Amino acid sequence: MQPLAFFGVAPTLLAQEGGTFWLPPARSTIAPEVDNLFFLVLGVSVFFFALIVGLMVFFVLRYRQRATAVDRHAPTHNTALEITWTVIPVLIVIVIFYQGFTTYLDERTPPRNAYDIRVTGRQWKWNFQYPNGFVADELHVPVDETVRLTMASDDVIHSLFIPAFRVKMDVVPGRYTTTWFRAVAPGEYELLCAEFCGTGHSDMVTKVVVHKTGEFEPWLKQAGDFIKSLPPAQAGRKVYELRGCKQCHSVDGSVVTGPSFKGLYGETARFTDGTSAVVDDNFIREKILDPQAKIREGFPGVMPRIKGITSQEITVLIEFIKSLKK
Ligand code: CUA
């Protein structure tokens, strides 16, 4: 083990590999810039902390009151010393500003020809939509390619945070925000919400999967085709997970926010307007397309409209609900 490995300083400054006591592994092109800035500020702080506290202790001991003390006048103004301790810190903050500002500009300016992925943050789930329309709950990206995220929120402010890429950006309702990165190593990394957004905030954790060269496109094609390639009820389970139904509807009979899907198909539901209906294919379809038309008795009526859900997705979802018998 290198002498400073415990503090993470030496390995991170030298290699940017593996993650350290201070920082997770650096796996994007921008990460070394951010890390260097962090270690610059940390180094300057540690140096001056040691200098100031060291001198303070030394002076306290050296000039403590002694029995033999003689009164002396305090030293007067020293121009050379004052200029020195003004100019040196000014130069240091100029260097920090330069490093910080150039890193900021790099972070805020995506290179041209980026691969676009749309991100939606919602209480309490991430959705990632690819250029072919496929929506996933994990972020899949190719290695060594610039990816630009265009992000929006359906409700409150969230913040997309990928520690290994040193990327963090607010996701705000009513406007788009963007961020970008270029992953440098295939693998799986954490992606989380870094803005407290309600009781399920800590559930907004998912992963970034960085595919090896040439493996991203086949993955996307296959993933996008799951409705065709899986049996309907299994495809329906994927829709249930990907589209966020899972956040409010259990499949084991427990009540989360909405009714459990277990044994739901074929039940008679009573609504707040006094009417009732049997839960069948058409009922489920209408409920998904217009969630506020009928509110089931005893439930809060907070189901959102699922933007962009296709009739194929609804069909397999119904098959999935049908398969969950009591
Ligand atoms: Cu979304 Cu915290």
The pLDDT tens digits for 12-40 are 443 345 677 888 888 999 999 999 999 99
Distance, CA of 139 to CA of 188 (rounded, Å): 10
Are 265 and 321 contacting, i.e. CB atoms less than 8 angstroms apart? yes
CB 33 less than 6 A from any atom of ligand 1:
no
146-153, strands of its sheet edge to edge: 135-136, 125-129, 115-122, 146-153, 177-182
Ligand 1 binding pocket includes 238 (Cβ within 6 Å):
no
296 or 20, greater pLDDT = 296
Looking at residue 195, its pLDDT comes to 94
Distance 193 CA to ligand 1 centre (A): 4
* More confident position, 3 or 241: 241
**Looking at the predicted structure, is the pLDDT value of residue 8 above 80?**
no
Model-wide pTM > 0.75: no
% of the chain with per-residue pLDDT over 70: 94
Q: What's CA 66's distance to the chain center, in Å?
A: 60
Ligand 1 touching residue 237 (CB < 6 A): no
Domains of the chain, residue spans: 3-54+79-108, 115-224, 230-323
Tell me the C-alpha distance between 33 and 180, whole Å.
15
Q: Which distant-in-sequence residues (6+ apart) come within 8 Å of 145 by Cβ? A: 115, 182, 183
The Å distance, Cα 207 to ligand 1 centre, comes to 15
pLDDT at residue 192 greater than cutoff 60: yes
With a 6 Å cutoff on the Cβ, whether 197 touches ligand 1 is yes
What separation in Å is there between the alpha carbon of 263 and the centre of ligand 1? 32
- State mean pLDDT over 270-278: 89
Residue holding tokens 């092109």? Answer: 29
Q: How far is CA 189 from the centre of its chain?
A: 11
Ligand 1 centroid to 137 CA: how many Å? 14
Nearest-CA residue for atom 1 of ligand 1: 158
Assess whether the C-beta atom of 119 lies below 6 angstroms from ligand 1: no
Per CATH, the number for 115-224 is 2.60.40.420
**Does ligand 1 have an atom closer than 6 angstroms to the CB of 125?**
no
Q: What is the CATH number of domain 230-323?
A: 1.10.760.10
| Ligand 1 close to Cβ of residue 85 (< 6 A) | no
- Ligand 1 centroid–CA 91 distance in Å is 40
Q: Is 201 in the pocket of ligand 1 (CB under 6 A)?
A: yes
Distance in Å, CA 304 to ligand 1 centroid: 17
Considering the chain, what percentage of its residues have pLDDT values greater than 90? 47
pLDDT higher than 60, residue 99: yes
Mean pLDDT for all residues in the chain: 87
Q: Give the pLDDT confidence score for residue 17 in this predicted structure.
A: 53
* CA 125 to ligand 1 center in whole angstroms: 8
Rounded to the nearest angstrom, the distance between the alpha carbon of 315 and the centre of ligand 1 is 30
Q: How far is the C-alpha of 83 from the C-alpha of 60, rounded, in Å?
A: 25
Same fold, 115-224 and 230-323: no
Strands (E), the chain: 115-122, 125-129, 135-136, 139-142, 146-153, 158-162, 167-171, 177-182, 187-193, 205-211, 268-270, 276-278
Helices (H) and strands (E) in the chain, counts: 8, 12
Distance CA 160, CA 171 (A): 7
Pick the atom of ligand 1 nearest to 196's CA.
Answer: 2
Instruction: State the closest ligand 1 atom to the C-alpha of 195, by its place in the atom list counted from 1.
Output: 2
